[in-house]
Structure 1
């Protein structure tokens, strides 16, 4: 009797310990959440590693865009998806070319604005949409549009030259307004050809060209 009672007690203790182990492991939902969190961290780590490789990133995006164009060309459809993709890319381009703070708001609030003369304080151009987010959004948009081409529900029959004409008109009007805004507030969203303030002295050839002639 004592041996049987001891066996029952050991079985009960083992079952309770196993139950505690299962409870400590958590529910399946917690396991899925932990797995998704690990995958997202790994994905973010890979994105962070691609940040300095600007040329390679844009070449990869160009390849993705080429695959999408070939897909639409061979399928001969999904023009509405392409039109929506073009509108989205145009909005991203405007955000990439626009300053983070609109100068018109500064004019209304009498705050600091962009420099308009050479004697003004130097202020670097800060984009409303940074280059990395601009690239990432474009790449993700092309990938989503490519996946949508495999579902016939998105293949709405439409006369594609009309959509192309609408997009071209919208592109011209939007870029014209953006260029007028850039000219009005005297800012350039690109750093190519700008003077760099790196603290280095000019070379001897540069100093000789800057000297006034007799």
Structure 2
């Protein structure tokens, strides 16, 4: 009986590999948590990753499928970043109570809440750039394709989706960028 309880105890204890993985995850999360307040540094880091990717692609042409997939993914992230969390078009159909964007001048101000917050946008884009940089280091990911068709298709897709997003922003009167906006403080003007 004593031997069985010791065996059960050893099965319930985490292995050395799982302990090490947990330690690595905790260190990773600590650095992520510390990076939240350093917005400019995070975006500069992402810019350097993008620049290194572009330099690699220009100096050693190829990897068009990887670049195309990266472009589509970054475009989808950007659109989610520009889109409100609650779509005003869908909200007008649903009579739900909750935060929404004002559609008329007479409605009260409600803050713009993004579908994809800035930090998650940065984190997802950074992960995608790192995966793409690793992928272009291997010859087997360089699949031969006729790249001008991919480029034309991406440009058309970019134009159509951004045009649709801008029309949506104009129709529902929201601007997702916060730079240059005046913030209502609740105090009357001193004029």
Would you say same fold, with TM above 0.5?
Answer: yes
2:163 corresponds to 1:176: yes
Please, what TM-score do these two structures have when normalized by structure 2?
A: 0.88
**Deviation above 6 Å: which 4+ runs of structure 1?**
none
Indicate the residue corresponding to 1:33 in structure 2: 18
2:58 corresponds to 1:63: no
Indicate the residue corresponding to 1:4 in structure 2: none
1:67-78 alignment to 2 at 5 Å?
67-78=52-63
Indicate the residue corresponding to 1:8 in structure 2: none
Indicate the residue corresponding to 2:132 in structure 1: 145
2:36 corresponds to 1:48: no
Deviation at 1:115, TM superposition (A): 0.9
Deviation at 1:179, TM superposition (A): 0.5
CA distance in 2, matches of 1:117, 1:103: 12
Q: Which has the larger radius of gyration?
A: 1
Indicate the residue corresponding to 1:195 in structure 2: 182
RMSD between superposed Cα atoms in Å: 2.3
Higher helix share: 1
CA distance in 2, matches of 1:182, 1:117: 13
Pair 1:198–1:53, CA change in 2 (3 A): farther
Please, what TM-score do these two structures have when normalized by structure 1?
A: 0.79
- List alignment gaps of at least 5 residues for structure 2: none
1:81-92 alignment to 2 at 5 Å?
81-92=66-77
Query: 1:19-38 CA deviation, whole Å, 9 max, x = no partner?
Result: x6x98666896221121112
